[in-house]
Amino acid sequence: MTKYIIRRLLYMIPVLMGVSLIIFILFNLVAGDPSAVLLGKNATARQMLEMKEQLGLNKSHFAQYVDILKSAFTFDFGRSWATKQQITYMIKQGAYPSLCLTIPAFIISTILSLIIALVVAFYRGKGIDLFIRFVCIAGMSISALAYILGFQYFFAFKLGWFEISGFEYGFPNFVPYVALPGIIWILLSLGPDVRFFRTIILDEVYQDYVRTARAKGLSEMTILLKHVLRNAMIPIITYVVIQIPYLILGALLLESFFGIPGLGGITLNALNSSDFPVIKAMAILSSVIYIIFSLISDILYTVADPRVKLK
């Protein structure tokens, strides 16, 4: 296990080098001259030259790539072009509001989805199964914007049950501000999560070991909870763990519409203002987090199923 973890961590080096190269190509070569984007069409040659020197764009392409590569390993992303703040400080400040929203909503939606999936798997083919599947598909067909605007208008503006926008640091001060976007997150997640978990569980229900367990006289609930769920954990772990990096990066739409100063809002503001250093930092951060949690999911496989050996 130790050798496997060390090897996977070493694999991160070439992966990050490749990711940094792709980010460099996208933002420095494909996207055009950032100084022209920032100054506009009417900028003079002198202004563009001064802007390039100020932003470090007058360096060679190789030197600029090395800067991006260095930031991927040191997490020193420099300063934002728009706010002039240290990007690392901006990420630290934005992580707290994002996690206050995403972690509770994610945990509740995952547990609730798994319980519902077990129920529909137990009553597969019956009325409750058909009804829940219909509700899931109907819920997935509605746009996220419709949920946000509808809930914000009715529950926050009309009824006054929740705060419309804003955020306060410290527990429980932030709860009224993240409650409504958290409920929307859960509703948006239930449809795809329940359908995925149901499919995985039913794949196991029709295996030979389940028929053997029934022949031994075990109850359907015992089979479902003790045997089926355990064997279905590997794809469930993969599905759940791979979503965690997106929690850290925030919920862009929810944070934007509810005025939550999280990482999603920071990313959206950077996109609107062509703040390339922040966009690059978020791209690199998401890559690093994704690689780390991919490794964590592999390790959890051995916990869920001792037959799995990491080599």
Q: What is the pLDDT of residues 206-245, one digit of tens each?
A: 888 888 888 888 887 888 888 888 888 888 888 888 887 7
- Which range among 32-41, 109-118, 163-172, 249-258 shows the weakest confidence by mean pLDDT? 32-41
Provide the pLDDT for residue 34: 66
Instruction: Determine how many CB atoms are found less than 10 A away from the CB of residue 66.
Output: 14
Q: Return left, alpha or beta for 80; rule: phi > 0 is left, psi -120 to 50 is alpha, else beta.
A: beta
Please classify residue 294 by burial: count the beta carbons closer than 10 Å to its beta carbon, then call 0-12 exposed, 13-18 middle and 19+ buried.
middle
Provide the pLDDT for residue 183: 92
**pLDDT score of 193 more than 70:** yes
Q: Quick one: which of 13, 27, 38 has its CA closest to 281?
A: 27
Share of the chain above pLDDT 70, in %: 89
Instruction: Determine how many CB atoms are found less than 10 A away from the CB of residue 191.
Output: 20
Q: What is the pLDDT of residues 285-304, one digit of tens each?
A: 888 888 888 888 777 777 66
Residue 293 CA neighbour count, 13 Å, CB half? 18
Provide the pLDDT for residue 215: 86
Identify the residue with better confidence: 55 or 296: 296
Provide the pLDDT for residue 111: 92
Residues of the chain with CATH 1.10.3720.10: 87-304
Q: Quick one: which of 206, 222, 205, 154 has its CA closest to 183?
A: 154
**pLDDT score of 247 more than 80:** no
Q: Return left, alpha or beta for 169; rule: phi > 0 is left, psi -120 to 50 is alpha, else beta.
A: beta
Give pTM, 2 decimals.
0.79
Q: Quick one: which of 244, 236, 251 has its CA closest to 185?
A: 251
Instruction: Look up the CATH architecture of domain 87-304.
Output: Orthogonal Bundle (1.10)
pLDDT band at 250 (very low <50, low <70, confident <90, very high): low
CA distance 212 to 99: 44
Provide the pLDDT for residue 304: 65
Provide the pLDDT for residue 207: 84
Provide the pLDDT for residue 112: 93
Q: What is the average pLDDT value for the chain, to the nearest integer?
A: 82
**pLDDT score of 66 more than 90:** no
Share of the chain above pLDDT 90, in %: 4
CA distance 194 to 109: 9
Give yes or no for a contact between 184 and 147, defined as CB atoms under 8 angstroms apart.
yes
Q: Quick one: which of 58, 64, 101 has its CA closest to 260?
A: 101
Q: Quick one: which of 32, 19, 23, 16 has its CA closest to 64?
A: 23
Provide the pLDDT for residue 268: 81
